[in-house]
């Protein structure tokens, strides 16, 4: 719905707010805190969103609102993925199965309310086209693969790290939009993309630095074993 009103380039700028919402919602839902250094990187992302909005040639308020709402739901998706993984034994395949079954069921009322059944009836002959099914199967395989990789990344890192990498990918897509679709490249739009990408890269650098510091601290000051762990260690010896 966002893409109905704005250019591809600005769509990705609007989606950059995902990591900002992630900081707030991760704290509220998972209790995860964000360091001041990380917050400084997110400030750059917010500035990039604002400047990109001001520099957009075909600015649309409703399109921007849809983009921001999209950011919220993308953020919630990654947070709840992290939250429910323990309930499926950290098994990405089980989670992917549940997601796809739920999506298949939810699609039915969505198709009904959006009038897609009428479109389907109008183009019924398409269901007998090999080209159509080839495209559908290919997109399904790619979509499923993306879902698995997303779960693997969130499991290995954090929802915020996943969304930062998605923001960097979105910036790359924005640059391709300038080249492939010939979107107007205003100074504000280019500066907005640059700030979003710069904030994402700064975040990645800060996270790597903090992770290395935490590992070094744990290695230098290992936590004492509890009684059960001590008994297991004695038995193994």
CA distances to 140, 210, 214, 226, 228 from 221, rounded to whole Å, are 48, 16, 10, 15, 20
Count of alpha carbons within 13 angstroms of residue 51, beta-carbon side: 17
185 φ, ψ to 5°?
Answer: -100, 85
Grouped pLDDT means (10 residues each) for the chain, 237 residues: 74 69 78 78 78 68 84 83 85 84 88 86 87 91 84 74 68 70 70 78 77 74 56 56
Burial of residue 151 (CB within 10 Å: 0-12, 13-18, 19+) is: buried
As given in the structure block, the two tokens for residue 166 are 């998605």
Maximal C-alpha separation, the chain: 73
Residue 217's pLDDT is 75
- Model pTM greater than 0.85? no
Q: What is the pLDDT of residue 123?
A: 86
Write down the pLDDT at residue 212.
Answer: 76
**Domain residue ranges of the chain, discontinuous segments joined by +:** 8-216
First to last CA, the chain: 62
pLDDT at 96: 82
Q: How far apart are CA 67 and CA 193, in angstroms?
A: 15
Q: What is the pLDDT of residue 186?
A: 72
Report pLDDT for 226.
Answer: 53
pLDDT of residue 138: 94
Q: Which residues contact 111 (CB under 8 A, 6 or more apart)?
A: 117, 120
Contact by Cβ (8 Å): 3, 60: no
Write the DSSP symbol of residue 222: P
What pLDDT is attached to residue 137? Answer: 93
CB 206 within 8 A of CB 37: yes
Q: What is the pLDDT of residue 235?
A: 56
């Amino acid at each position: 719905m966002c893409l109905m009103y704005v250019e591809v380039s600005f769509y990705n700028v609007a989606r950059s707010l995902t990591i900002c919402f992630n900081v707030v919602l991760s704290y509220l839902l998972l209790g995860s805190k964000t360091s001041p250094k990380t917050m400084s990187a997110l400030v750059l992302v917010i500035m990039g969103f604002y400047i990109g909005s001001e520099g957009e040639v075909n600015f649309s308020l409703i399109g921007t609102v849809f983009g921001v709402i999209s950011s919220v739901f993308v953020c919630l998706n990654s947070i709840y993925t992290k939250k429910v993984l323990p309930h499926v034994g950290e098994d990405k395949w089980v989670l992917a199965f549940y997601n796809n079954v739920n999506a298949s069921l939810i699609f039915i009322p969505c198709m009904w309310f959006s009038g897609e059944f009428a479109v389907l009836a109008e183009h019924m002959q398409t269901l007998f086209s090999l080209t159509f099914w080839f495209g559908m199967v290919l997109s399904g395989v790619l979509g499923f693969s993306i879902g698995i990789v997303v779960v693997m990344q969130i499991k290995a890192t954090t929802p915020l790290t996943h969304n930062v990498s998605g923001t960097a990918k979105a910036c790359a897509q924005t640059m391709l939009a300038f080249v492939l679709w010939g979107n107007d490249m205003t100074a504000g739009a280019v500066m907005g993309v640059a700030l979003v990408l710069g904030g994402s890269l700064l975040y990645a650098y800060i996270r790597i630095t903090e992770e290395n510091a935490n590992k070094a601290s744990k290695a230098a000051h290992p936590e004492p074993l509890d009684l059960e762990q001590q008994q297991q260690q004695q038995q193994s010896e």
